[in-house]
Amino acid sequence: MNRMQEPAAGNALSTTERRHLLRRLAFTATPELDRAVQGMPADEALSVLVRAARDAPYPQVPEAASGIWRNPALRFDGLSDEDFETIADRQAERARAATGEVRRWWLAELLTSPAPLRENLVLFLHGVFGSNTGSVDAPHALHGRNALLRRQCLGTVPDLLASLVVDPAMMIQVGMDGHRRLRVSDRPAKLILDHWTVGADAYEPRDIEELSRALTGWLLVAPEGREPTRPLDPRAPRAARRTGLVPIFRPDEFDAGPKTILGRTHPFDARSAVRWLASHEATARRFGRLLMTHLGVEDGGAALETRLLSAYRTTGGSIEAMLREIVRSDAFWSESSRWALIKSPVHLAAGACRQLGIASPPVAAMDSWLRASGQALLDTPNNGEGGWPGQEAWVTPAALLERLDPAPGLDAGAIETEVAGVNSPEGRSAFIRRVMMSPQYQLA
């Protein structure tokens, strides 16, 4: 048997193979993780990472997202344009600061969490479903979606979609908040079809219309007893009339008739519609391809894609099952997949911090470096309508200017031990730069 096929056959992983698996699934092969999976075959090594993902405590809620969200920029009836603009500008500034706190809270988890597989999957799903702080300016909603992805990252795609479709951040982002029977927009349905489920080439215009009807009836409101007593300006945009982040279903605003979506006629509502879309072969194939791409797997001949489709069908769309199928595959261990993944800035930073044992990285400075490098957490490309393209997009001439400049914190602390023998500061800087330019640092 070819040595590259042995991990897929259940043999104990070699040192090189263990490190390949850990670089892809856990950002890097730290000495602790490497020892934890020593002597194990691939499937058992994955189980170690999965157990940590399931058992590790969830991070504490950041202060910016604690308590109940109140909209301080409501437009009350009779408020002048000048007064409202003053209030809205003040609120926008506060929201930007709070959003930055939530972003740095998540970055700290990516850099230091005891469950690296979990954070890697949250990052993957964050890219799949997109995020945009321009439209979602409520830090509580951004944190809530991040927490939802963390809770369900090893569950099933249908369950995840059924939760996301009524998640406050996603409702705001796709335009479902206030999507009513007599005021229907195509935008939420098109985004869900294109980016959440089957993809742009797998449906007809009629499917957009029918899914739009199924998505009606949901509204975000204040918690019971906390609605404002003053009347709101009915002409104000939805963001200036949103009183809270509690999703409620209003039957009188729902189009209850039968809908035909991708060939099936049923009285779909939002949750049942996305579950139906999640069960479609096109969704299964697309999700499998996205997961392979995130993990840097080259699937010549599409054999692994077919296996992932089968795993998706037999397990009801289990993300863990698809991960296991990838790790059991020859494609994951093939020469063409080795060192083939160009690390994203987040992967690069998380891997370096973990490998160097930097327990308290300078999160604010690293957040600025990530944004300058083209990967701003909570803000995916195209206004949140899609994830980062990855691979060569990370090494354009413009991106390389930032990428090859040591990330803040990676030229201090633990790394100083590695370069202690270099006499001058200039020599240490040159050594660090050579390390950062090496394939072992830039690739996984």
pLDDT one-digit tens code per residue, 52-107:
999 999 999 999 999 999 998 999 999 999 999 999 999 999 999 999 999 999 99
> In the predicted model, is pLDDT for residue 5 greater than 60?
no
Q: How confident is the model at residue 430 (pLDDT cuts 50, 70, 90)?
A: low
Dump the DSSP string for 314-369.
HHTSBHHHHHHHHHHSHHHHSTTTTT-PBPPHHHHHHHHHHHHT-SS--HHHHHHH
Residues 6+ apart with CB under 8 A from 134: 379, 383, 384
* Residue labelled with tokens 């054999």: 303
Helix axes 205-214, 270-278, angle to 10 degrees: 140
User: What pLDDT score does 406 carry?
Assistant: 60
Token output for 132:
């945009």
- What is the H or E stretch that residue 253 is in? none
Nearest to 309 by CA among 272, 280, 276, 275: 280
Backbone angles phi, psi at 81, to 5 degrees: -60, -45
- Give the pairing type, strands 264-266 and 218-221: unpaired
Which 8-state DSSP code applies to residue 61? P
User: What pLDDT score does 414 carry?
Assistant: 44
Which 8-state DSSP code applies to residue 443? B
Q: With contact defined as beta carbons under 8 Å apart, do 188 and 274 qualify? A: no
Q: Which of 7-11, 124-128, 362-366 has the lowest mean pLDDT?
A: 7-11
Backbone angles phi, psi at 141, to 5 degrees: -70, -40
Output the CA–CA distances (angstroms, integers) from residue 89 to 93, 132, 238, 248, in the order listed. Answer: 6, 19, 16, 29
User: What pLDDT score does 183 carry?
Assistant: 78
Q: How confident is the model at residue 20 (pLDDT cuts 50, 70, 90)?
A: very high
The full set of domain ranges for the chain reads 3-55+297-333, 63-278, 345-442
Q: How confident is the model at residue 438 (pLDDT cuts 50, 70, 90)?
A: low
Percentage of the chain surpassing pLDDT 70? 90
User: What pLDDT score does 413 carry?
Assistant: 45
Question: Counting every residue, how long is the chain?
Answer: 444
d(CA 169, CA 60): 19
Say which residue, 253 or 183, is predicted with more confidence. Answer: 253
For the chain, report the end-to-end CA distance as a whole number of angstroms: 25
Q: Across the strands, what pairs with 221? A: 246
